Amino acid sequence: MNTSDWIDQWASPPRPLPVDIGDAIDYLSACIGSPVYLRWTPATLMARHGDMPRAKAALPEVFSQLLDAECVIQFWHQGETVALPLEEAPRPEIVIARLLRAMQARFRPATASSTATKIKGEVLRDRARRVQPKAALEEERSLKGHGRFWNPDGPSNTLGLDDDALAVKIFMAERANLSMHTQRAYTSAIRRLIQWCESQGLGPLSDLTRENLIAYKAALAGTATQTSSTEHTLSRRSQSHALSVVRSLFGYLLRTGYLISNPAAELGDTAAIRARFSPGRVLPPGAVRACDAWLKARLDRMEHPPDVLRRAAIVAIYRFTGIRLDELAWDGGFPRLRVDSGGWTLIVLGKGQKERPIPLPDVCNEAPRPKGRGI
């Protein structure tokens, strides 16, 4: 079988399996977290574990079969790892084929993916043409075409597009449920990036490198905007928002397979800002100290019952996020926590029944899960 005819759709971006059968086995083993096809001999067993007693303890089934056989194959079979002598074991191609059929939610034939991608691409092209003017960009003609980091592989490019302008419009269309204010803010941030690229002779977007975006980040700090007869530089908050839109755009293009790399990964990361966060006071200092003392007393001790710890988490979230009362619980359930390299983020249902993310400062992270204990 040709393993490269299969696409790993859970990869970011989606990618075909390695051509070499050995490399494909290694890739699939890493995907499922267990051996797909391993060949064992007394020599390889000794080399892996150092001595036979350790080998016997680690792989008793393989060890016992090697007493009567020169070679034993350890392979995936219906979700389990099985060991058989070489003469009785299936060929690696058969094992891989069975695994791929069993995991169709993740691995798809490239031919089927190509057809589906082509159809989806036509649908998205039509959708992009119908994006409302409020989400369109006046400079979209400068985005026409694609750059060196565009993904030419049809099956893994799930957008099925080859034009940056359309890809950006689809990105905006995916956020069509955002408020008018957010739509304008996104459009303004992307337009600012395009204008900077034009001033530097760069573009289209899929041709930008990380060095380009680092230069853009530095340029934002010195960007001056004209207001009446005075000029002022972008505030730190405006710079952070502009970079967050750029991260969101490039992250979307990578996840959908339109790009083969993400030059904006962790660009202008907010982890340092979260660490320096200091909440402002709306209560008298004495009340704030009493609140913090109550929290500390309950988070420092493990023997409190769950309902007490739950109340402590609620108070901490109120204390450090400014969340509204009706956002603590809604018809669809409770707020969700998202944890990534940038920190913890609370997802709540805000005004207009729309989800909104609230970055949690480092000082608040211990409240939802004190001392490693869930609430």
Q: What is the pLDDT of residues 180-234, one digit of tens each?
A: 777 788 888 998 999 899 888 888 899 999 999 999 998 988 754 444 334 456 7
State the pLDDT at residue 372: 44
pLDDT digits (tens, 9 = 90+) for 289-298: 888 888 888 7
pLDDT band at residue 135 under the 50/70/90 scheme: very low
Q: For residue 374, is pLDDT > 70?
A: no
Is the pTM here over 0.75, yes or no?
no
Percent of the chain with pLDDT over 90: 17
What is the mean pLDDT of the segment spanning 66-87?
A: 90
Give the pLDDT mean for 267-273. 64
Q: Which of 332, 375, 339, 336 is nearest to 356 (CA)?
A: 336
Q: What is the pLDDT of residues 139-176, one digit of tens each?
A: 455 677 888 999 887 767 878 788 888 888 888 877 65
Q: How far apart are CA 336 and CA 68, in angstroms?
A: 55
- What's the distance, CA 337 to chain centroid? 15
Give the right CATH number for 111-268 from 2.60.40.10, 3.40.50.720, 3.90.330.10, 1.10.150.130.
Answer: 1.10.150.130
DSSP 259: B
pLDDT for res 156: 74
| Rounded mean pLDDT, 231-257 | 84
Average pLDDT over residues 240-258: 89
CA 66 to CA 62: how far, in whole Å? Answer: 6
Q: At what angle do helices 236-255 and 210-221 cross, to 10 degrees?
A: 160
Among 63-77, 116-130, 135-149, the range with the most confident prediction by mean pLDDT is 63-77
Greatest CA span in the chain, whole angstroms? 91
For residue 281, name the pLDDT band (cuts at 50, 70, 90): low
Let me know the angle formed at the C-alpha of 342 by 337 and 347, rounded to the nearest 5 degrees. 25
Pairwise pLDDT comparison (135 vs 5), residue with the higher score = 5
The residue among 247 and 108 whose pLDDT is bigger is: 247
Give every CB contact of residue 245 below 8 A, 6+ residues apart in sequence. Answer: 185, 186, 189, 190
Residues 6+ apart with CB under 8 A from 230: none
How large is the average pLDDT for residues 48-58? 87
| Domain residue extents for the chain | 3-105, 111-268, 285-372
Shortest CA distance to 29 belongs to which of 111, 92, 122? 92
What count of other Cβ atoms lies within 10 Å of the Cβ of residue 313? 21
Mean pLDDT value across residues 81-107: 89
